[in-house]
Amino acid sequence: MPHYRPSLGRRTLAYGDLLLFDFEAVVDGYCSDMTWTFVVGKATDKQKDVYDWVLNATEASLLRLRAGVPRRKVHRAAVDVIARAPYKDHIFLSPVGHGVGLEVHELPRMGLDPDVLEAGWS
């Protein structure tokens, strides 16, 4: 669950919790967007395994990321990795990536969009 929702309630962080930090900044009108995952204390073997599957999915999508490739194929590369994972029944919430610039979430978006990535996207 990448974003906190008040309906989840409040509680104190506990040893073993996974934390997802989603950072954004604006400098001279240009945006950034970065996500980091941390564990409180030492990661369990299962947490390490989940992390490795997500990392492998990310790397698979990055291998597809180039001009001439349909955006959905970049996303699909990550989905295909997760589909082989023991965690495949968990929800894949969002596209694997998006552009940043004058807005935090802008084109191109990697998801179900059939449009092809163009060189020098602007």
Q: How do residues 35-90 score in pLDDT, each as one tens digit? A: 888 899 999 999 999 999 989 999 999 999 889 999 899 999 999 999 999 988 87
Q: Is the pLDDT of residue 1 over 60?
A: no
122 is a domain residue: no
118 is a domain residue: no
Q: Is the pLDDT of residue 106 over 50?
A: yes
- pLDDT of amino acid 118: 80
The CA distance from 61 to 80, in Å, is 10
- Number of domains the chain contains: 1
- The chain-wide mean pLDDT, for the chain, equals 85
Instruction: Encode burial over 55-72: b for 16+ CB neighbours within 10 A, e otherwise.
Output: eebeebbeebbeeeeebb
| Range of the structural domain that residue 58 is part of | 6-110
